[in-house]
Structure 1
Amino acid sequence: MDGQLLQTDERFRLRFSRQLAHSPEKVWRAITEPEHLEAWFPGRIVGEWVVGSKLQFHGEYPMMDGEVLAVEEGSLLEFRWGPDTLRLEIAPQGAGCTLTLTDTFDELGKAARDAAGWHECLDRLGDHLDGTPLRPWGDRWKEINRAYVEQFGPEASTEGPPDGY
């Protein structure tokens, strides 16, 4: 599993890096434009990608508010999603790029659950960019979650699956 669990101060971080065979520009569009976000992000984001702008997240979970914290066109997007902070960084690499997603949060017990979710989201993003048909949400979640439970340990696995998984 490519997700890493890190601890900094009182908070925890999940970090994923994916090599993508697509230009940074194409990946930037996929992480910022609504018609692409809906293919891989676990909810609809309402708001503009401007530092200080308020965001709303709608999906199969209670609506949450957020705020855009940092934007560097084509290379960095960071925002608060409820109590968590999500940071997406794009770095050119050869003919493609590396996308690094970092989720910073407070509750260790949700690490394996959220790692499985982000892993699945990034798989869907890769499929979307490649033009491959998208698997149904949750299709591999249980399998991926088991691997992260084993990798991170029981203390990082106290929160159960999302509804419907």
Structure 2
Amino acid sequence: MHSYGALHKVDGRYKLRFERDYAYSVEKVWDMVTQPQYFTQWYPFATGEMDLRTDGKIYFDDGEGTTYEAIITKFNPPHFFAFCEIDDLLSIELNTEGDGCRLLFEHTFDDASMSASVAAGWHRCLDVLGMIIEGKPVEWPDNAATLRETYTEALDL
């Protein structure tokens, strides 16, 4: 399954949720999600410096010379990985589904006006993660504007 994200309001914040199915084991997909050499390919601005444990840190560079860190809030290999990046909470859950696995990705944030842009961005990132999992060359198609329009309509913004 390759679905568009869904937006929900939870406790005054906004939560985007994406689901993706893969024909690979939870363990294989876990490595592609969390190992620095893969994480830096699909997660924007990640430096690859990661302390993969609860309360560990992940370091990012904003592309303009500013470095910042995220704190891992939950790390339960090979099923759950969550971290707080600035004020946003991101979580990735992997569950066995048939002969493969299902990835559930959630991003919790405050600014509803950014919903379509955030959804389009994560859609693109998860597409790249899928390329990595499938062993395909990483390509970032120039589809951000189209996806923002799609999500503006799909999320009823």
Task: Check whether TM > 0.5.
Answer: yes
Aligned match of 2:131 = 127
Distance 1:96 1:77 in 2: 18
Structure 1 residue 21: Cα displacement: 1.3
Number of equivalenced pairs: 153
Q: Which amino acid aligns with 2:134?
A: D
Q: Within 2, Cα distance between the matches of 1:33 and 1:50?
A: 12
Deviations 1:131-151 (A, max 9, x none): 122223x52111111100112
Decide whether the 8 Å contact of 1:11 with 1:105 is kept in 2: yes
Deviations 1:78-118 (A, max 9, x none): 00011100000000111110000000011111111010000
Q: TM-score, normalised by structure 2?
A: 0.90
**Structure 1 segment 71-90 matched on structure 2, within 5 A:** 71-90=75-94
Looking at structure 1, the residues matched to 11 and 46 of structure 2 have their Cα atoms a distance apart, in angstroms, of 31
TM-score, normalised on structure 1? 0.86
Equivalent residues of 1:116, 1:141 under 8 A apart: yes
1:115 and 2:115 matched:
no
CA distance in 2, matches of 1:96, 1:86: 23
Q: Report sequence identity in percent.
A: 31
Report runs of 4+ in structure 1 exceeding 3 Å deviation.
none
Corresponding residue for residue 52 of structure 2: 49
Instruction: Give the SS at the match of 1:27.
Output: helix
Letter in 1 for 2:118: D
Q: Partner residue of 2:150? A: 147
For the 8 Å contact 2:17–2:104, the answer to whether it is kept is yes
AA aligned to 2:130 is G
Query: Where do 5+ consecutive residues of structure 1 fail to align?
Result: 155-165
Where does residue 31 of structure 2 map in the other structure?
A: 29
**AA matched with 2:12:** E
Question: Alignment RMSD, CA only?
Answer: 1.5
